[in-house]
Amino acid sequence: MSEQTIMSEVKRYIYEAIQQAVSKGKLVLKDCEISENGMPAGFDAARINLEPPRDKAFGDFACNVAMKLTKAYGLAPVKLAETIAEFIKAPMFSKIEIKAPGFINFYLSNDTIYQNAYNVLKLNENFGRVNIGNGVKVNVEFGSVNPTGPISVSHGRQVVLGDIFSSMLEFTNHSVAREYYCNDAGNQIRNLGKSVLVRYRQALGAKVEFPEDGYHGDYIMEIARELIAAHGEKYLAESPADEDVITLFGDYSQTKMIKEIVGVCEKMGVKYDTIYSERSLYSDGIIAQTLEFLKANELTYEKDGATWFLSTKFNDEKDRVLVKSDGKSTYALSDIAYHKTKYSRGFRQLITFLGADHHGYIKRLHAAVSALGVPQETLTILIHQFVTMLKDGQVVRMSKRAANYVELNELIDDVGVDAVRYFFIMRKMDAHLDFDINLAKSQSTDNPVFYLQYCHARCHGVLNEARAKGFDVALDKIASLPQDIVQKLDSPEEVAILKRAADFPKIIEECVKNYAPHLLCHYAEDFVKLFQSFYTKGKIDKNFRIVTDDKELSCARLFLIYVVLITTRNILKVMKLSTPERM
């Protein structure tokens, strides 16, 4: 785990300044405020908002704490900001300014910038880690597509979002379990078995009509041929035992499909910790236990021969049927039982990724959690939008094998794992994604994942060049350079790179706290652009070249190379992308 980030340090200085102002009588809470040692109740350093301003003319960090506390202390925001700033004494700042309507703007000193850069090399693989999880157990459920066909690119986006967000949680000290919920019970598995049985009989020459609601695509015929190889013509003729045959074929088919789906996910670098079977909720008695629990807590009622869940008690839009009049359980009961198992397995935070067609599940699932006696805020439901595939400017609508959608496996084979993973998270998850296949395959600076990996490889290339010219480029050697040499990195371009690298831990924190993994892509592209611009400038102007006849300046710039290398490598590793040393 890394040392505290600079953002945490700045927040601490601000908080301590408010404490000092209170102790000196400069700030006094209004009578209506609940006091904790002269501070508003519940207020601590973590509640202080600190952001890098968009316009660098306003410093490195901007804080709006004065505007947040103006009512509590009865002072105008600017006056309150001035009072707080008066008590901030820290050598890490070269300047502190107050700007209307009450911002406190902080400018880092050069010494702080260089010390932050040393910290990058010191922490190395741990650079960017922040402890905001404290080891809490988190269950992340994603990619839980019905095992009735190949996984689509839209579900593939969900898989990547879930996996990379899980990686970010692990990077911030959460104990994460990746989970796939297999809907292997219910009518869709019967429908799958029936579809395969019809194709099986058709392949053997029978004149059988395919069901209107059957599953299409060549994969159904592939399974049918496997069953012909295994059973021959045993099930060719219709018989009273067809329901048993449908069950047999359905079980075989869904087992095959879940193996294929999980295999494609693993091919993309995603490994689930748990594949949780819906059927096990029945076989293990959890469905029955959950129903009894709800009844015992007076959360059910009988109506029209069915058992209903009183979900409106928990702000759901309507009550939900748990057991139908024919005695069959519904998905609503399965969902409650399934979430009950998550909490019983010791998870304290649940995160579930769902597609855009599942908006209606949000209130229902929150009601389920509340019925279990658990706070709703322990369950976070993240909705993602779907994917449109584009090639040569035209929409790619479907693959022959899947019949009515594009298979994820085909996309992986076409553009590669790294491009798929990066492109799937580079936009906000609640925004529709246009996946440009041509761009994903291009080896140009227009392709963001190629650009990022090329930057990483370029850093290795520079180190190799310097080594060939006699420089000792070992990390420990460069990390121990005296500060008077490192301070030769004093051009605006070099300082900008060092300062932007120091933002990495904060970006990771923002990604996790805001459930926004796309922010890491934005940061990566901005950071790489700064370095590539500097590197390109060196091709034109010898004063910006990295390895020169000036040994001390060259060493300083090799220090810069390591800052860039470590930052880009850690970005790639969080995204679980490859880290090429040559391209």
The CATH code of the domain that includes 283 is 3.40.50.620
Listed in sequence order, the residues at least 6 apart from 255 whose beta carbon sits closer than 8 Å to its beta carbon are 147
Radius of gyration of the chain (CA): 29
* Shared domain check, 166 and 51: no
Q: Is residue 99 part of a domain?
A: yes
Q: Is residue 393 part of a domain?
A: no
User: 285: phi > 0 → left, psi -120 to 50 → alpha, else beta; which?
Assistant: left
Of the ranges 209-213, 236-240, 460-464, the best mean pLDDT one: 460-464
pLDDT digits (tens, 9 = 90+) for 122-132: 999 999 999 99
Confidence at residue 284, expressed as pLDDT on a 0 to 100 scale: 97
pLDDT digits (tens, 9 = 90+) for 382-397: 999 999 999 999 998 7
Cβ–Cβ contacts within 10 Å for residue 322, how many?
25
Q: Is residue 581 part of a domain?
A: no
* Shared domain check, 238 and 260: yes
Sheet holding 433-436, edge to edge: 394-396, 387-391, 433-436
Q: 583 pLDDT band (50/70/90 cuts)? A: very high
Structurally, the chain folds into a number of domains equal to 4
Q: Which helix (H) or strand (E) segment is 322 a member of? A: strand 320-323
What mean pLDDT is predicted for residues 219-237?
97
The CATH code of the domain that includes 36 is 3.30.1360.70
Q: Is residue 490 part of a domain?
A: yes
* Shared domain check, 125 and 153: no
* Shared domain check, 570 and 525: yes
Written as six digits, the tokens of 447 are: 């392709």
* Shared domain check, 333 and 226: no
| DSSP annotation of 407 | B
Mean pLDDT value across the chain: 94
* Shared domain check, 367 and 349: yes
- 151 vs 355: CA distance, rounded Å: 13
Q: Is residue 399 part of a domain?
A: no
Q: Is residue 43 part of a domain?
A: yes
Percentage of the chain with pLDDT > 70?
97
Q: Are 447 and 412 in contact (CB under 8 A)?
A: no
Confidence at residue 3, expressed as pLDDT on a 0 to 100 scale: 41
Give the end of a domain, one of 345, 369, 384: 384
pLDDT value at 401 more than 70: no
Q: Is residue 435 part of a domain?
A: no
Backbone torsions φ then ψ of 372, nearest 5 degrees: -80, 0
Give the end of a domain, one of 239, 267, 295: 267
pLDDT digits (tens, 9 = 90+) for 464-497: 999 999 999 999 999 999 999 999 999 999 999 9
* Shared domain check, 530 and 456: yes
What mean pLDDT is predicted for residues 361-384?
96
Q: Where are the beta strands (DSSP E) in 109-241?
A: 137-141, 175-182
* Shared domain check, 489 and 456: yes
Give the end of a domain, one of 249, 267, 285: 267
Cβ–Cβ contacts within 10 Å for residue 196, how many?
28
Domain region containing 331: 137-182+270-384
| Type of residue at 582 | R
Alpha helices in 65-142 (DSSP H): 65-73, 77-86, 110-123
Q: What angle do CA 319, 325, 328 make, to 5 degrees?
A: 90
* Shared domain check, 527 and 552: yes
The CATH code of the domain that includes 527 is 1.10.730.10
Characterize the bridge pairing of strands 93-99 and 61-63: unpaired
Listed in sequence order, the residues at least 6 apart from 511 whose beta carbon sits closer than 8 Å to its beta carbon are 165, 168, 517, 519, 520
* Shared domain check, 558 and 492: yes
* Shared domain check, 567 and 477: yes
| DSSP annotation of 152 | B
- 209 vs 280: CA distance, rounded Å: 34
Least Cα distance to 499 among 560, 442, 455, 542 occurs for: 560
pLDDT digits (tens, 9 = 90+) for 507-533: 999 999 999 999 999 999 999 999 999
| DSSP annotation of 5 | P
Confidence at residue 32, expressed as pLDDT on a 0 to 100 scale: 67
Q: In which residue are the tokens 């599953």 written? A: 215
| DSSP annotation of 403 | S
- CA distances, 193 to each of 146, 234, 361 (Å): 14, 16, 27
pLDDT value at 5 more than 80: no
**What is the four-CA torsion angle of 22, 27, 29, 35, rounded to 10 degrees?**
-10
- 309 vs 363: CA distance, rounded Å: 13
* Shared domain check, 166 and 277: yes
Q: In which residue are the tokens 């998905």 written? A: 331
Q: Is residue 395 part of a domain?
A: no
